[in-house]
Amino acid sequence: MIESDEMGTDVEKMIERCLIKDAGAWDEFVRAYRGVVIRSVRYKLKRLNIRLISDEFKDIVQEVFMDIWEKDKLTKIRDYSSIEAWLAILSINKVSNYCRKCMFKKPECISLNTPGTSGSGRDLCSFLSDDASCLSKNLHYSEMKAFIIKELKILGGKKKAAMMLYLFNSMKQKDISGIMRVPENTVATLIRRARKQIREKLDMFLEERQLSRHGNM
């Protein structure tokens, strides 16, 4: 993997070459980050309690990279220090899509041993509020999810990456630590700070909405 001190410059140069379809740079990118994709795919399959044969596992890993190359997804990267987390999220989503396709088209290729284990994310109400019932009365789940995603985009960087993996992909902090290549206590700090900032914005949003409702009465 690319070392941290020169990571921003090296990764930026490599990605710039990838964007002009430099085959050598693309091979370098795949070698550098294949391990992150493999670990993320394996993690999601384990969370879903699904076993795939070796060829299907390799297909998912290959599809992650093919999508990035063919759909120019590298243009979407804004923070090179969080590229591992970005790749992990892409990989996790690819597993979910792949397995859904398999269940409809060729169910014999997977084994679902634990029904209902969707790994769809943590309880947003409980995570953001000490009084989840009060919060849920004021905001529907879909509204809350949209609000959190909007605020995470504003936060950006490692806070966004850590929260996306933790909150929406139910990944453990130690696993996020391995993917983002930062200490576990740093992950905990990133999540805690992001939660605090989002909760403050959410309180303001709910207060403004409440005032607006009273004003329209």
What are the tens digits of pLDDT across the range 2-39? 444 455 578 889 999 999 989 999 999 999 999 999 99
| CA distances from residue 64 to 1, 25, 67, 211 in whole angstroms, order as listed | 18, 17, 5, 46
Higher pLDDT, 71 or 119: 71
pLDDT in tens, 158-197: 888 888 888 888 888 998 988 888 889 999 999 999 988 9
pLDDT of residue 118: 37
pLDDT in tens, 135-169: 555 667 778 888 888 888 888 888 888 888 888 88
Name the band, by pLDDT with cuts 50, 70 and 90, for residue 49.
Answer: confident
Q: pLDDT at residue 119 above 50? A: no
pLDDT of residue 149: 85
pLDDT of residue 80: 81
Dihedral over alpha carbons 40, 75, 22, 12 (to 10 degrees): -80
Task: Go through the domains of the chain in sequence order and give each one's CATH number.
Answer: 7-112 (1.10.1740.10), 124-215 (1.10.10.10)
